[in-house]
Amino acid sequence: MSGKYQLLDCGDRRKIEKFGEYTLIRPCPQAIWKPFDPDLWQNFDSEFVRLKGEKGEWKGKSLPKQWQIEGPNKTTWTVEPNEFGNLGLFTEHWIYAVDLGDFLYPDEQILNLFSYSGSSIMGLLKENYKAVAVDSSKGAMALYTQNMQQNNIPKQGHKLVLEDAIKFCQREIRRGKDYGSIIADVPSYGRGTKGELFDIGEQFTETLEVIKKLLKGNGRVILTLHSPRYTLEGLRIYLTQLFAGKSIEAGEIIQKCTSGASLPSGLLFKIK
C-alpha cells in the first residue's frame, strides 16, 4: 500500500495530485483560474504532456506500471498510468459513492454501465451489493477485476460484460430484463469492442432512453457525465420529461483541494 489520494491544487488548466507516494500533474481544462498555492507545484514526480490529439507522455521521474492506494470505506485501488493521461481510476466518483448505499436498493443487482475500473461502485461491492458491470474496454475490465480481487470481493453474484453499453441494454430489453438500480457514467467519447465510436453528442439521449426501458417502476438511477456540451439545468429539464413522475436531484461534483480551491469535476443526477 502506498498511501492515499490527495488533490493538492488546480489552475492554469492543470491539476496536481498525490497518488500515494507519487505526485503527478495532469491537464484539467476546466481549471481556467490561477493556482491557489504555487508552492505546491514546485515538487512533483511526473507531468502528463499531450503530444497529438488525446495522447501524450509522462515527463519526469519514471513511474511504475502499477501501484496501489487506499480509497474510501477501506477500499484498495490500482493506479495505472496510460498514454491518455488516465490513471485507472476517477477519484471524483468517491465523493458521492460513499452515500450510494442509502440510495440504491441493497437487494437489487446493480447495472453498472460504462463501469471502467469500478470507481463509483467498488465500495458497495465490498458491502455485499451485487452488480452487472458493462464496459467496452478490455483494459477497464481487467482493472475492475483486479480491484475486486484486491478488495477480497468474490465473483459469485457478479457479472462482467465486455460489450458496448447500448448494445448490451438493447439485448437485455429484448430479453424482458429490468433493473431496480442503474449507475451510468457516460463518457464523452469511447470505442466499442469492434471499434464502434461512442460520441456523447450523438448517442447520449439513446443511452438514457434504453436506461429508462430497463428501469423497474420503482427503480433508481445514478447518472454522471463530464462533457461541457451539456448544462446542469438543460439536462434536468430533459430528465424530468424522460423520467416523468420521478424526482430528479441535480448537482455538480465538486472536488476540494488541500490548497482550498474547489474543482468542478462533472454533473451528478439522482433519479428516483
User: How many domains does the chain fold into?
Assistant: 2
Other CB atoms within a 10 A radius of the CB of residue 248 amount to: 19
Show the domain range for 37: 5-69
- Residues 116, 218, single domain; the answer is yes
CATH number, domain containing residue 65? 2.60.40.1180
> What is the rounded distance in angstroms from the CA atom of residue 214 to the CA atom of residue 209?
9
- Residues 238, 119, single domain; the answer is yes
**Strand order, beta sheet including 22-27:** 5-11, 14-19, 22-27, 46-52, 55-60
Q: Name which residue leads in pLDDT, 197 or 47.
A: 47
147-192 confidence digits (pLDDT tens): 999 999 999 999 999 999 999 999 999 999 999 999 999 986 555 5
Which residues, including other chains, have CB under 8 Å from residue 154's CB and lie 6 or more apart? none
CATH number, domain containing residue 214? 3.40.50.150
- Residues 40, 100, single domain; the answer is no
DSSP letter, residue 4: B
CA distances from 128 to 125, 155, 221 (A): 5, 11, 19
DSSP string, 221-248: EEEEE--TTS-HHHHHHHHHHHTTTS-E
> What is the rounded distance in angstroms from the CA atom of residue 159 to the CA atom of residue 216?
19
Q: Name which residue leads in pLDDT, 213 or 2.
A: 213
Q: What is the pTM of this model?
A: 0.93
17-49 confidence digits (pLDDT tens): 999 999 999 999 999 999 999 999 999 999 999
234-247 confidence digits (pLDDT tens): 999 999 999 999 99
Residues 131, 155, 104, CA angle at the centre, nearest 5°?
Answer: 20
Assess if residue 198 is contained within a domain.
yes
